[in-house]
Structures are given as C-alpha cells and as structure tokens.
Chain A
Amino acid sequence: MIRVVLPFHLRNLARVDGEVELEVAAPVTISAALDALESRYPTLRGTVRDHGTLKRRPFIRFFACKEDLSLEPPETPLPDEVVSGAEPFLIVGAMAGG
C-alpha cells in the first residue's frame, strides 16, 4: 500500500480528504502509481498526465523522500520508503502566478 498526497484542487475533484492509499503491484514505478491512482479515481485522468501522450502536465511536479522526481522517466522505481508506505509520493501543483 503506497500513500499519495494530492494537491488541493485534485483532492476536491476526487472528493477525498488527506492522503490517498493505493495498492500498486511491483515494480512500483512512477507510472504504476499514476495508473493505480487514475484507476481508482477516473475523474483524475488527464489532470496529472496528458490523456493522449501520458506525459506529465507541465505544471505538475512529483516528489518523494525530498527528491524531485518530476523529470525522471515514468518507469523509474519509487523509493523503498514510498513502496513500504513510510513516506508518501507527492503530486504537487508547481508554483506559478495567478
């Protein structure tokens, strides 16, 4: 079971409070975590990754264990602490004006 932290607006869209817990089969990669998230919450499809290309949206960032994973390939394994549930996988709206 991994823990995922969503940004405020996506928590509202998915109608969840706090962290989301997801079952993800090994290997637990960035894309596997996002697949599980979108399967559980279909309304989030297209909001983190582009529908067509599955690329990360430009103003979305991924963090885990104080590391920025945003530019890592989708098949990158998440840290052991995230896989064990000790640390969350963070999906963050990038700072940008407005």
Chain B
Amino acid sequence: MTDQAAGNARDRSPGSVVPRWAIGVSDGLWAGGCREVVYVPDNPLSHILAALGRDHPAVRATLATREEEAVGIAAGLHLGGARPALLMQSSGVGNALNAVGSLLVAYQIPVVMVISMRGDPGEWNWAQVPMGRAVVPVLDALGVQHLSIERGDESRDIVLALANLAFGTRVPVACLLPRRLTVPVEGGRA
C-alpha cells in the first residue's frame, strides 16, 4: 500500500504530540534526500510517519508485509533513482538479514534503515530480547555502519550524516532508536 505520508499522520490521534526525536529523524531523512519510505509498522515508528506526514507530505510511505520484502522494494526504488529509507523494528532486522546481505551490501545499494529497538534497556518482553541483542553484532558482521540516537536534539544530524554516507558512498546504513529514546522510562510499556 502506498500513500502520501500525510495519510499516515491520521493514524495517530488528533492533537497527539510528535516527539522531538521523531521530528528530527523525519527532518534528517528529508535533508538527506529521502522521498520514499518503505515501512513495517511499530509504535515508535508511527511518530516518524506522523512527523513526515505533517512536515514533509511529499514523502511517499509504502507499507510492506514483511521487512525482507521491504528491503526488496527499497532496492527497486533505488534502481529507479530514488534515495529510499526503511523503517522497521529490531525484530524485523532478523526477517530482513539475507536481503540486506545479498542485495543491499552485495550490489552496493544505499538505503537508510531506521530501526526501533526492542530488547534493550527498558524492555519488558523477554521474547524481544534475543533478537534485539543480536542487532548490533549482526550489522557489524554484515559491514553495515550504524549509529544510535541518544537524545532528541541530535536525531536530525545523525540521520543526515548516515544518509550522506549511504547515498554518497553507495552503502546501506542503520540508525538505531533505543527504547530509552522512544518510550518513557516511567511506565514504559509499548
């Protein structure tokens, strides 16, 4: 499914506040030239979609059924000249790995992967912990450079720096969103 990102803004309740970190990610993607976003939804990522829809409605958001499929769509978007971003949860990294290796890395196809973390400090669901802990070692094993956003006021610059690396040198990159950034520590269960 493809809609202008504006449509996704309606997915969140009216008057809900878009957090600063999400506005920064959205602005960083825009500044990095991303006009195409492929996503498999999760709760923190919905804030980024809302920010894109509000501030950068020209960005097209395409929903995939699975993260591996999303990698394929993003690769095709790049073959057609676009600078794609992928939004996925850390659990979806596991679903996407072979495609990241044998398509993005092998063919030097640049994509900015924005990964909302599960299984890191703040997690409450044990089932999310093993894959969450594996994300960084697996990205390292694939040679995918990654940065983690620790504060809302640095998110735009981190995403833009990663986008410049991706599209300047034709590599996939990853931006990690830790739970302590995306979920309130007090009572954080999302």
Task: Note whether A and B form a binding pair.
Answer: no
Q: Using CB atoms and an 8 Å cutoff, list the residues of chain A in contact with chain B.
A: none
